[in-house]
């Protein structure tokens, strides 16, 4: 098991991995509690756009480290489409050798803006932050 920044590791890696968990840094809007104004500081549109660009770079790096039959689980604690579905969709457009699998756990809802991809999303509750997940494999 290796735990490190994929952007740092991709240039020095000598092996491929069957499973990669990419828990990408995000804008943290899944932590916002509408009844607590102090939590609003965690999100800004500029931060979300910057994080989406970083997330796509990290997903690219992770894909280079994946074995031919491997899987990437991409997750964020964000609920924005820009950091989630749009990142996955942009990656899949560039990498037709990948596809998404249905989530092994059912989310609160599955969005249909991109019907060709399978993703899950969970709303925040008193017990958990909101988060997003997609499972990618090579075709």
Domains of the chain, by residue range, sit at 17-138
Q: Is 77 one of the annotated active-site residues of the chain?
A: yes
In this prediction, what percent of the chain has a pLDDT beyond 90?
A: 43
pLDDT band at 108 (very low <50, low <70, confident <90, very high): low
pTM of the complete model: 0.86
Phi-psi region at 62: left, alpha or beta (left = phi > 0; alpha = psi -120 to 50): alpha
The CATH number given to 17-138 is 3.40.50.150
Q: What pLDDT shows up at residue 110?
A: 60
Report helix, strand or coil for 138: strand
What value does the mean pLDDT take over residues 122-133?
80
Of 20, 26, 77, 117, catalytic:
77
Task: Name which of 5, 120, 130 is nearest 57 in CA terms.
Answer: 5
Instruction: Label residues 27-63 b or e (16+ Cβ within 10 Å = b).
Output: bbbbbbeeeeeeeeebbeeebbeebbeebbebbbbbb
pLDDT tens digits, one per residue of 17-51: 999 999 999 887 877 777 788 877 777 889 999 99
């Amino acid at each position: 098991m290796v735990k490190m920044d994929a952007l740092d590791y991709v240039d020095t890696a000598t092996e491929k991995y069957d499973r990669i968990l990419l828990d990408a840094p995000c804008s943290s809007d899944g932590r916002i509690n509408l009844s607590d104004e102090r939590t609003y500081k965690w999100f800004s549109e500029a931060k979300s756009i910057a994080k989406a660009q970083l997330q796509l770079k990290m997903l690219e790096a992770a894909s280079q480290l994946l074995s031919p039959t491997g899987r990437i689980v991409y997750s964020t604690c964000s609920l924005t489409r820009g950091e989630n579905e749009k990142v996955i969709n942009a990656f899949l457009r560039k990498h037709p050798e990948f596809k998404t699998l249905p989530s092994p756990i059912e989310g609160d809802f599955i969005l249909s803006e991109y019907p060709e991809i399978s993703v899950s999303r969970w709303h925040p509750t008193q017990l958990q932050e909101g988060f997003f997940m997609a499972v990618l494999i090579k075709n």
